[in-house]
């Protein structure tokens, strides 16, 4: 609160009022003190105090998450932000020399592509969040390296996209069209690394958009241990993905059976709720294959 005093050269500090509805609660800001001033005839000492008090008031303009929590905003030459639950302080840059350099334009185009891809793949991403980092952001971080950019346009190697985060390998996936279906299987025995294999197929439409075509879970390894299955097909370009899940023990196998999992979307939902914990289930890397349009 800023008012004028009746006397000259006066700088008065007022104690906060703690009535039934304190000011600092009504305005959702911390109330420290207010001051009254005569603005045109301050002594040098009073001017210093006024500058200090105004700095404190500027600090109160920061958006605080709590009385002792982290904050975001600008104070003088410092900018405060929060990332991953940590307070970040950086120097304020009033002007950016060139916000449209080739590198910046390329990175923004990659991030835009990855954001769109994350939305398309959201239903089958089998990646749990890690602390404050969401599954979506972990998916983007894992796959943005597959992007390339030219003249401001980003592209990605779709066959390399990872729906999981793992260092465990799995045999390559093979796929072939069979009438209106696509027959999928692994290239070799995978029973040592997987008790079941999740298959997902995405189709590229004529307008260039990508959408989920079909997904299934193969729990029977078959005679060759390569987990054969069948997916809905399309004459358009299709990308097929596969990853394995290995149970830690018989109890984990029984737990998985109780979930009645039938698709990669079911697995993604269970991963998101941590029902499929890494303590009980080990995931493999994702392998992909591109089927050209016919």
pLDDT of residue 163: 97
Which of these ranges, 14-28, 40-54, 128-142, 157-171, has the smallest mean pLDDT? 14-28
- Over the stretch 223-242, which tens digit does the pLDDT of each residue have? 999 999 999 999 999 999 99
Number of domains the chain is built from: 2
- Over the stretch 54-113, which tens digit does the pLDDT of each residue have? 666 555 555 544 545 567 777 777 888 877 677 777 777 766 666 666 667 778 888 999
**Which carries the bigger pLDDT value, residue 33 or residue 153?**
153
Residue 243 lies in a domain: yes
Which of these ranges, 22-31, 35-44, 145-154, has the smallest mean pLDDT? 22-31
Token pair recorded at residue 256? 């998985």
pLDDT of residue 37: 42
Look up residue 2 and give its DSSP letter. E
- Over the stretch 176-191, which tens digit does the pLDDT of each residue have? 999 999 999 999 999 9
Q: Alpha-carbon distance 215 to 242, whole Å?
A: 10
Tally Cβ neighbours within 10 Å of residue 136. 17
Which of these ranges, 3-7, 108-112, 208-212, 263-267, has the smallest mean pLDDT? 3-7
Among candidates 203, 281, 280, 289, which has minimal Cα distance to 244? 281
Both 201 and 283 in one domain: the answer is yes
pLDDT of residue 109: 87
3-state percent breakdown (helix, strand, coil) of the chain, nearest 5: 25, 30, 40
Both 118 and 261 in one domain: the answer is yes
Both 49 and 136 in one domain: the answer is no
Whole-number CA gyration radius for the chain: 29
Both 199 and 62 in one domain: the answer is no
Residue 96 lies in a domain: no
pLDDT of residue 7: 40
Residue 249 lies in a domain: yes
Look up residue 288 and give its DSSP letter. E
Both 113 and 249 in one domain: the answer is yes
Both 159 and 262 in one domain: the answer is yes
Backbone angles phi, psi at 8, to 5 degrees: -85, 150
Containing structural domain, residue 280: 106-291
Q: Alpha-carbon distance 17 to 23, whole Å?
A: 7
Checking DSSP bridges between strand 34-37 and strand 2-4, what pairing results, if any? parallel
* Residue that finishes a domain, picked among 91, 120, 143: 91
Both 17 and 43 in one domain: the answer is yes
Both 254 and 119 in one domain: the answer is yes
Is the pLDDT reported for residue 159 higher than 80? yes
- Over the stretch 235-281, which tens digit does the pLDDT of each residue have? 999 999 999 999 999 999 999 999 999 999 999 999 999 888 888 99
Both 262 and 116 in one domain: the answer is yes
* Residue that finishes a domain, picked among 91, 115, 147: 91
Q: Cβ(212)–Cβ(268) under 8 Å? A: no
């Amino acid at each position: 609160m800023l008012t004028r005093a009746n006397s000259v050269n006066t700088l008065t500090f007022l104690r906060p009022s703690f009535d039934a509805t304190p000011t600092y609660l009504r305005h959702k800001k911390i109330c420290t003190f207010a001051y009254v001033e005569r603005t045109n005839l301050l002594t040098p000492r009073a001017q210093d105090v006024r500058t200090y008090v105004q700095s404190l008031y500027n600090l109160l303009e920061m958006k605080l998450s709590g009385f002792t929590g982290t904050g975001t905003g600008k104070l003088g030459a410092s900018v405060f932000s929060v990332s991953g639950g940590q307070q970040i302080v950086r120097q304020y840059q009033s002007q950016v020399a060139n916000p449209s350099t080739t590198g910046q334009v390329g990175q923004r185009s990659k991030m835009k592509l990855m954001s769109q891809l994350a939305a398309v793949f959201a239903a089958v991403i089998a990646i749990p969040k890690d602390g404050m980092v969401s599954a979506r952001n972990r998916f983007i971080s894992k796959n943005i390296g597959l992007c390339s950019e030219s003249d401001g346009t980003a592209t990605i190697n779709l066959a390399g996209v990872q729906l999981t985060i793992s260092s465990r390998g799995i045999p390559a996936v093979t796929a072939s069209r069979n009438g209106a279906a696509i027959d999928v299987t692994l290239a070799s025995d995978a029973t040592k690394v997987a008790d079941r294999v999740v298959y997902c197929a995405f189709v590229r439409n004529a307008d260039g958009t990508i959408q989920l075509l079909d997904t299934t879970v193969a729990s029977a390894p078959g005679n060759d241990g390569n987990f054969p299955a069948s997916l809905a097909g399309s004459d358009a370009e299709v990308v097929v993905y596969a990853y394995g899940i290995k149970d830690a023990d018989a109890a984990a196998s029984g737990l998985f059976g109780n979930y009645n999992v039938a698709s990669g979307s079911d697995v993604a939902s269970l991963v998101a709720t941590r029902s499929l914990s890494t303590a009980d289930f080990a995931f493999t890397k994702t392998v992909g294959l591109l089927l050209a349009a016919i």
